[in-house]
Amino acid sequence: MNHPVQRRDAVAPVPPARIATLDDLREHLQWAIELEHATLPPYLCALYSLDPERNPEAVQVVAGVFAEEMLHLALAANLLNAVGGSPRLDTPRMLQPYPRRLPHGDRSLQLSLLPFGAEALDMFLRLERPAPPDAPPEDDGYETIGQFYAAIGDGLRHLCDRLGEREVFSGDPARQVHGGHFRNTAGRLVAVGDLASALAALEEIVEQGEGLAGGEVWDGDRDVHHPERDEVAHYYRFQELRAGRRYRRGDTPRSGPTGEAISVDLDGVLPMRRDPRRADHAPGSPIRTAQEEFDHTYCAVLHLLEQAFNGSPRLLAVATGTMYGLRAQVQALMRMPDEDGTTAGPTFEYVAPELRRWSTGDRQRIVVLAGGPYLVYGGLPLRRKRKIVSAEGDALTWRTGDALPTEDTYALCRCGRSGAKPFCDGTHAVIGFDGTESADVRPYAELQHVHDGTGISAQRVGELCVHAAFCLGRTRPIAEMLADTGDSDVRSTVMGRIDHCPSGSYSYALERGGETVEPDLPRAISVLEEEGGLAGALWVTGGVPVLRADGRPLETRNRITLCRCGHSSGKPLCDGTHRKIDFREEGTGATTAERSHPRM
């Protein structure tokens, strides 16, 4: 007897997961990093084109969105690190020319660099547009950002079901950045280590952009500028600016904002040229030079972010501080007259590492950031050293203290105001630190004054003196003792005092013109503490190269001292000013409120 054939195709097949492998997932999370970054230059241009006195509400809106997009970038990096990936930011892919589309997004959406105005608002509203309630997840060619992140969420669930959470979340937890590294928004910087925290990170990104699930205009946080108010999601903040009113309780996406009036003064906007390019101006012209300077700084931000997300999470504060510090460069450009009644603007063009003023790589070195901290590369050891003095206060020697835990790349405070000294916490950007360098870059041999004794020829460069006082002694300074160096005990004492000079202001040879005799010092950085708890210089030993912010190297010497009080007249070198101002490690940081909400 024949039986009827069952038609299996009557049941719709389950579609294959769009993100089906861990490699797929990591690729999409790298796209997420590129997506979040692509929004930053347009927001930054609109923000800095606004006169904050005439447009305070618009400045608050755009600044708040910009800070939260930085948060979303960090969350995307946490997600990628959690699943065993390596975030990449210092790459030409991050700075494709504007106008450009979102990475792997809807090709009809083009992002441009524009001053604030109706066209910029249209672009931001299209960018932040919420997904319709029934919109399917889209892992490529997505119409809305929410649909893209929904596809990532589906991929995470699928892979956890198939492979198990432990296999999916195989990344190093030490690479996670968290609330201790980022305090610039009301949002949550979620450390990701399992499916629940990964989905929470995705929810944070989507809700800040599109609003709470169910079609609400709120994002679930308190307004960072007005803590008494609930915070409105990005899309609806831009709707407020367009409508000239705030949302209030009871308002919906359909009703629009019905609350208090807000105003935008379009006459208080700098008329920046659309999508500026370096090539539009001759090399060496003031605008081209300023644009190149900006691009160097912006690529430094990308470099710092990549370092922060790849094993040096403390650098996130330095990167965000440097990002906020771009304001002066952008606003200076926007005040330079350009063609057709417009002004110049930043170009956001990539500068290859080998063309930067300081090269990248893992070799041990110290790089001075313009207006910022010292970046220390290559895992240089960091420890404390305390001056030992006699009962009468005479300098005797240095005692090496505890080693300080560091990451392979770390940043040391240069402004003197960090709340995490000796490390940088980004305060330099809050206080507007002027890190202009004025140290004489001529070689030691050209600056030295030579004083001969018997069996010793002392060399001194007064500009390097940090007043550590080893050269003074209880009764006579070295300059007077040289006359008695026929006595080997006196000569030995002079040699010992010079060996203890941290800056190398004093050095010696056995005869005039002979080879300088240097103490055997390790490659390291020492945080000096002088008598009475006075905070001294950073003592760099062992011939570590130091590069100024303008790219010029300081002469590599066995020992140099770097200013960390922020007040030396010969930055980046210490000149002893910390003694005049009674510099201490405690009580010199920016306030908590300043660090939490730096001015954009």
Residue 441 pLDDT class (50, 70, 90 cuts):
confident
Is residue 374 over pLDDT 60? Answer: yes
**Whole-angstrom Cα distance, residue 293 to residue 543?**
29
Residue 599's pLDDT is what?
Answer: 43
Q: What is the mean pLDDT of residues 125-141?
A: 91
**Whole-angstrom Cα distance, residue 426 to residue 590?**
10
**Whole-angstrom Cα distance, residue 50 to residue 56?**
9
Q: What is the mean pLDDT of residues 201-215?
A: 85
Q: What is the mean pLDDT of residues 507-530?
A: 95
Is residue 5 over pLDDT 80? Answer: no
Residue 6's pLDDT is what?
Answer: 38
Which tens digit of pLDDT belongs to each residue from 151-179?
999 999 999 999 999 999 999 999 999 87
Residue 89's nearest CA partner among 75, 79, 77, 101 is: 77
Cβ pair 216, 206 in contact under 8 A? no
Residue 123's pLDDT is what?
Answer: 96
Is residue 554 over pLDDT 70? Answer: yes
Containing 232, the helix (H) or strand (E) segment is strand 230-232
Is residue 251 over pLDDT 70? Answer: yes
Count of other CB atoms within 10 angstroms of residue 446: 9
Is residue 225 over pLDDT 70? Answer: no
**Whole-angstrom Cα distance, residue 545 to residue 553?**
7
On average, the pLDDT of the chain sits at 89
**Whole-angstrom Cα distance, residue 552 to residue 102?**
38
Is residue 228 over pLDDT 80? Answer: no
Residue 121's pLDDT is what?
Answer: 97
Residue 204's nearest CA partner among 153, 140, 158 is: 153
Residue 235 pLDDT class (50, 70, 90 cuts):
very high
Q: What is the mean pLDDT of residues 383-411?
A: 92
Q: What is the mean pLDDT of residues 419-432?
A: 91
Least confident of 211-225, 236-250, 332-346, 378-392: 211-225
Residue 289's pLDDT is what?
Answer: 95
Q: What is the mean pLDDT of residues 423-450?
A: 91
**Whole-angstrom Cα distance, residue 71 to residue 224?**
14
Is residue 439 over pLDDT 50? Answer: yes
Residue 185's pLDDT is what?
Answer: 65
Residue 79's pLDDT is what?
Answer: 98
**Residue that is written with structure tokens 């240095």 in the block:** 398
Query: pTM of this prediction?
Result: 0.85
Cβ pair 320, 182 in contact under 8 A? yes
One-character DSSP codes across 376-430:
EES---EEEEEEEE-TT--EEEEEEEEEPP--SSEEE-SSS--TTTTB--SHHHH
**Whole-angstrom Cα distance, residue 162 to residue 168?**
10
Residue 181 pLDDT class (50, 70, 90 cuts):
low
Q: Which of 177-181, 215-219, 276-280 has the highest mean pLDDT?
A: 276-280
Which tens digit of pLDDT belongs to each residue from 562-589?
999 999 999 999 999 999 999 999 855 4
Residue 573's pLDDT is what?
Answer: 96
Residue 591's pLDDT is what?
Answer: 39
Cβ pair 410, 421 in contact under 8 A? no
The number of C-alpha atoms within 13 Å of 196 and in the hemisphere containing its C-beta is 0
- Between residues 248 and 16, the one the model is more confident about: 248
Is residue 221 over pLDDT 80? Answer: no
Least confident of 10-24, 76-90, 346-360: 10-24
**Whole-angstrom Cα distance, residue 198 to residue 153?**
8
Residue 317 pLDDT class (50, 70, 90 cuts):
confident
Which tens digit of pLDDT belongs to each residue from 17-67?
589 999 999 999 999 999 999 999 999 999 999 999 999 999 999 999 999
Is residue 357 over pLDDT 60? Answer: yes
Residues of the chain with pLDDT > 90, as a percent, come to: 74
- Between residues 103 and 362, the one the model is more confident about: 103
